[in-house]
Amino acid sequence: MKVLIDGDVLRYELGAVSMAKEEIFGVTVDKPWPEHEVFELVDEKIKSIIERSGATEAEVFLTGHGNFRIALATIAPYKGTRVGDKPYHWATVGKRLIEYWKAKEYCGIEADDAIAIRATELAPEVIIASRDKDLRQVPCYHYSWACGENQPEKETYLVEGLGEISFLKDKWGQYKLLGHGLRFFYGQLLVGDTVDNIKGCPKIGALKAVTALQFLETEQELFQSCAAMYKNVYGDDWKRALVENARLLYLIRDRSWVEEEPQGDHEIKCYVKQLWEAPYDYSGYDV
């Protein structure tokens, strides 16, 4: 079985940990590892993901320059809250993934979209390996590797049907949306995504979203429940807001939606030809 690995997460994770503490004149500073040690770290991680996920081979995906979602976002800038520099060895990790593990870098779309397209083509006999919650929309097998004490390993599991939705109450009393599959996608449509600066439906948090969606039995019911809440919050502008947020959240699954132009050995320029559209009409919800 093949595992599709989210290289974007590895660039940040491994790029950040490949640093050593060193004391210079009484001051502790971070000292980057030499390149060959970073390469070894990357190789060990990829081999571990293949083994731990139960796969036999891997494909690695990276996000390049350009992102079609930037132009779609009018409610708030897409990923507009992300600030700060990349880890010191961000590029070093990417170099190893490209040169040794033959990673493909997708420009114009995100690695998540490319993974979702490939997984849909190979499903169900394929595994997506990532710690990115967005990829859990996609019906197939999934695996998440451990990262520190607060992010334990999630062994390989299958996403199918409508999936699941739930919430977790953290130590500060805040509710976090959990889940996978279509239920999770529609849950995100209500709650939004603070990481990517997607606002969702204001005043609808994880608790309200789970209460509204967890026992619905069809995608049409999920969609109509979200539509009703959007109408209540956004008023006359509710359809535009719903479609915009859905297009920002939805991962492309169909290769025909994208025109691909290879740019050398590893880079692929992508032009999006088709966007998410409401799967059902708005009957009963017209303002």
Say what the alpha-carbon torsion angle 93, 99, 101, 106 is, to the nearest 10 degrees. Answer: 80
Q: pLDDT band at residue 267, thresholds of 50, 70 and 90?
A: very high
Rounded to an integer, the average pLDDT of 174-191 is 95
Q: What was the pLDDT predicted at 23?
A: 59
Question: Residue 26 pLDDT > 60, yes or no?
Answer: no
Crossing angle for the helix pair 90-99 and 35-53, nearest 10 degrees? 60
Tokens 């590029």 locate to 91
Question: Residue 168 pLDDT > 50, yes or no?
Answer: yes
Take residue 103 and report the two structure tokens written for it: 């990673």
Instruction: State residue 258 phi and psi, 5-degree precision.
Output: -130, 135
Angle at 282 between CA 280 and CA 287, to 5 degrees: 165
Q: What was the pLDDT predicted at 278?
A: 94
Q: pLDDT band at residue 174, thresholds of 50, 70 and 90?
A: confident
Q: pLDDT band at residue 214, thresholds of 50, 70 and 90?
A: very high
Rounded to an integer, the average pLDDT of 26-30 is 60
Question: Residue 85 pLDDT > 90, yes or no?
Answer: no
Question: Residue 11 pLDDT > 70, yes or no?
Answer: yes
pTM above 0.85, yes or no: yes
Q: What was the pLDDT predicted at 287?
A: 42
Rounded to an integer, the average pLDDT of 40-63 is 98
Task: Report how far residue 222's alpha carbon sits from residue 137's, in angstroms, rounded to the nearest whole number.
Answer: 14
Burial class (CB in 10 A: 0-12, 13-18, 19+), 190: buried
**What is the DSSP pairing of strand 57-67 with strand 154-158?**
unpaired
Mean pLDDT of the residues in the chain: 93
Take residue 254 and report the two structure tokens written for it: 């169909």
Query: Domain ranges in the chain?
Result: 2-272
Q: Which helix (H) or strand (E) holds 71?
A: helix 68-72
Burial class (CB in 10 A: 0-12, 13-18, 19+), 56: exposed
Task: Report how far residue 194's alpha carbon sits from residue 80's, in angstroms, rounded to the nearest whole number.
Answer: 10
pLDDT digits (tens, 9 = 90+) for 86-133: 899 999 999 999 999 999 999 999 999 999 999 999 998 999 999 999
